[in-house]
Chains A and B, each alone.
Chain A
Amino acid sequence: MIRAHCLICAGAGCISSGAHALKEALTAELKQRGLDNEIRIVETGCMGPCDLGPVMLVHPEGTFYQKVTALDVPKLVEEHFIKGRPYQPLLPKEAPTGAVVNTQRDFTFFAKQQKIVLENCGLIDPENIHEYIARDGYAALGKVLTSMKPEEVIAEIKASGLRGRGGAGFPTGVKWELTAKNPVKPHYVICNADEGDPGAFMNRAVLEGDPHKIIEGMAIGGYAMGANNGYIYIRAEYPLAVKRLQIAIQQAYELGLLGKNLFETGFDFDLELRIGAGAFVCGEETALMRSIEGRRGQPQPRPPFPAQRGLWGKPTNINNVETWATVPIIIRNGASWYGQFGTARTKGTKVFALAGKIRNTGLAEVPFGTTLRELIFDIGGGIPNGKKFKAVQTGGPSGGVIPAQYLDTPIEYETLQALGSIMGSGGMVVVDEDTCMVDFARFFLEFCCDESCGKCPPCRVGTRQLLNILERICSGEAELEDLDRLEELALMVKDASLCGLGQTAPNPVLTTLKYFRDEYLAHIVEKRCPARVCRDLLQFTIIEEKCVGCSVCARVCPVETIFKVGGQKKYYIVQDKCIHCGACLEACKFQAINKTSEGEGFIPPPRPAVLELPPGRKPTAVVTS
């Protein structure tokens, strides 16, 4: 008899930190000790706390282990499986208190979550349809086909209050009805699995960890909207998700859960994958459909909306991965059950990807209405290294930053919008005091500028010009009028762009201008970067008392502008050739390099009378100035 299950997270994050090697080592160790017929190893989808990977969960106890490497395996097996006590060194610690966490249930990261969409992620083997079925999988499809009319399905989804998780939060049931009622035939359903926002990986987790839930949701939607064909549009950069989907689709066909005459009701449903090349704009629904048709992925004006004229000109319904994955759960448990989670305006839960300067990087699912503070500080564990929270960017590159004074805002589509940001697909990038907000806005804008498809000038030209201004500000070459230009142009791009990409691209600029205007002013007026990030505005100097004369800084300096002080064991940076790369700072073991951004008032330490070449440098280097 199998007495224990060892669930190894095989999400993309844990795989890259070594989950496969862990699995091999564990398999070999269990076999060698004759435990292989007592203990079963299961590879699951993402468990959430990606930063702690490779992670492993052992049942029946529910013991959660972090950063498990192949080298840990012999001791872990000895302690946990032979002697029956948790292997202490690999138990996680609670972020602020440092308390050791014995079981998954006790870990605040998990305890404060409400896993609905992720109910199976990290619990079942995504490559085994039977494990999905064991968790009531495909029961909702069976129920719908055998006992509900299509209108009843739509009514149920409407009653649940489900809103689209792709960003805009449009009521799903209302959207379904538009397609369902369109007399033009055939109808199509599409799953948008493009997920192009940097820092977002919520959809990937569901695709990799519970692919059948998406398939089941789409089949239910197909039935409700009279569509017999569905497409999943997924980017080629998600190879593991593609593989798991392919396996899942094949297994569903083999068991007759896709294909002809499902549940002997005469309903046929076929599902295919379409692999995208990873352009951000192809996540926009009209561009996505063109890409499926084999054309260049460029957005088109709406209306007509997809429900009116979609794929190949036919009525089409596009939903996000998370939206589709929620559908079977609503059908299974009922709209009113679902309605108990969330707020009056927005029902249910949302998966967020926590990234940036946060202790528990990873995925967390919480009910709408949870505050930013609860998500970032309780579940996310707060900011590491004793740093201070500065802001959180929600909604990816098209979102905006939200500063500390709004941390108690409950998370909903409307509340985030009121602060100038958006929900987007659920990416959350946390930044601390070491982040320059101008540089941060520049980073996201650069992304949107690169990803602009070029069709409409406001986006193509406007984002480029915005970026130019931001680059000038970051390098200290901007003047005050640039700030007005920046704002005016940002609003123009927002108003005049054809699709959501351009319409939202200025959000990082507008929100940083609103909440961190002082940082812009410091760059422009004082030529100073308060967070000491923007390279052109930095100064590096050597603190004489701390310098031991080891010469490491001079050796790593790529422009050879660090010299030995004549007759002393000290070094000196000649400023005019310095490119502010920070190589000396990183190399110095004595904290003798000072990084400042003092602006025009900067006075370098007095220049020694004699400078010598450091050991090993060829005399070709000429001491200038």
Chain B
Amino acid sequence: MNLEQLKRLKEKAQQQVALREGHKKYRVVVSMGTSGIAAGAREVMKTMLDEIEKRGLADVEVRVTGEIGLEDVEPVVRIERADGEQTTYAKLDPEKARRIVAEHLVKGTPVENLVVGKEKKP
């Protein structure tokens, strides 16, 4: 073992515990109330998890939450950026979910035609 090897081991291992330490750049919040689940929110979430993993995005965490007041347009996903910017997407399906990962989470550009709300929280 030398310093360089230890550093590489650390980088690899960090992904294992980073989730417990917080401070991610993006937080994906999936609305998982009864209406969300009925409209296919779990499929949407699984697709996103899958896509995030495939692309090796380390700076993203995914949470589920109860209804967020948009029961008519489920599945709903909100993307929160560490700086407080929040973007809400509605009426999603796996295909749209994939696009959001590719555009919003990878490139940082929201998929405007799917956005139903934007907010800036301190």
> Which residues in A have some Cβ–Cβ distance to B below 8 Å?
1-5, 7, 38, 59-62, 81-85, 123-124, 130-131, 133-136, 138-139, 142, 146, 255-257, 262-264
Contact = CB atoms under 8 A, between A and B. Distances in A.
Contact of A3 (B9, B22, B61): B61
Query: 5 nearest interchain CB pairs?
Result: A84-B64, A134-B13, A1-B53, A256-B1, A130-B13
B64 A81 contact: yes
A324 to B, nearest CB: 20
Contacts of B113: none
A3 B14 contact: no
A82 B20 contact: no
Nearest to A124: B17
B10 A136 contact: yes
B62 A3 contact: yes
Contacts of A255: 1, 9
Contacts of B12: 130
Given A3-B62, A5-B20, A257 B1 contact: yes
Q: Name the residue among B2, B20, B46 with the largest chain A CB count within 10 angstroms.
A: B20
B1 to A, nearest CB: 4
Interface of B: 1-3, 6, 9-10, 12-14, 16-20, 22, 24, 27, 30-34, 37, 42, 45-46, 49-50, 52-53, 61-66
A1 B50 contact: yes
B19 A5 contact: yes
Contacts of A3: 45, 49, 61-63
Nearest to B29: A84
Q: Name the residue among B10, B27, B32, B37 with the largest chain A CB count within 10 angstroms.
A: B10
A83 B10 contact: no
A85 to B, nearest CB: 5
Contacts of A256: 1
Contacts of A5: 19-20
7 contacts: A3-B49, A4-B63, A84-B66, A123-B20, A256-B1, A263-B6, A264-B2
A134 B14 contact: yes
A131 B17 contact: yes
A134 B16 contact: yes
Contacts of A2: 19
B35 to A, nearest CB: 11
B64 A7 contact: no
A95 to B, nearest CB: 26
B19 to A, nearest CB: 5
A82 B37 contact: yes
A263 B12 CA distance: 19
A589 B39 CA distance: 56
A59 B3 contact: no
A135 B15 CA distance: 11
A82 B32 contact: yes
A62 B61 CA distance: 13
A38 B49 contact: yes
Interface of A is mostly: loop
Contacts of B14: 134
Nearest to A143: B3
B43 to A, nearest CB: 12
Contacts of A4: 19, 63
Contacts of A61: 63
A276 B18 CA distance: 38
Nearest to A252: B1
Nearest to A85: B66
B16 A131 contact: yes
Contacts of B2: 142, 263-264
A84 B63 contact: yes
Contacts of B32: 82-84
A135 B17 contact: yes
A142 B61 contact: no
Contacts of B66: 83-85
B49 A134 contact: no
Contacts of A130: 9, 12-13, 16
Q: Name the residue among B16, B46, B50 with the largest chain A CB count within 10 angstroms.
A: B16
A124 B17 CA distance: 7
Q: Name the residue among A3, A4, A124, A262 with the largest chain B CB count within 10 angstroms.
A: A3
Given A3-B63, A84-B32, A256-B1, A142 B6 contact: yes
Contact of B10 (A59, A60, A133): A133
Contacts of B46: 38
A131 B62 contact: no
Nearest to B11: A134
Contacts of B19: 2, 4-5, 59-60
A264 to B, nearest CB: 5
Contacts of A139: 6, 10
B17 A123 contact: yes
Given A130-B9, A136-B10, A1 B20 contact: no
A1 B62 contact: yes
Contact of A60 (B1, B9, B16, B63): B63
A401 B63 CA distance: 49
A82 B34 CA distance: 10
Contacts of B16: 130-131, 134
Contacts of A264: 1-2
A64 B24 CA distance: 20
A127 B111 CA distance: 43
A2 to B, nearest CB: 7
B68 to A, nearest CB: 10
Given A1-B49, A1-B50, A142-B3, A59 B20 contact: yes
A389 B20 CA distance: 37
A145 to B, nearest CB: 9
Given A60-B27, A81-B64, 14 more contacts: A1-B52, A3-B62, A59-B20, A60-B22, A82-B64, A83-B32, A83-B33, A83-B37, A134-B10, A134-B18, A142-B6, A262-B1, A263-B1, A264-B2
Contacts of A85: 65-66
Nearest to A122: B20
A467 to B, nearest CB: 49
A24 B72 CA distance: 39
A84 B14 CA distance: 26
Contacts of B9: 130, 133, 255
Nearest to A263: B2
Q: Name the residue among A1, A82, A123 with the largest chain B CB count within 10 angstroms.
A: A1
Contacts of B1: 255-257, 262-264
A139 B11 CA distance: 12
A124 B3 CA distance: 22
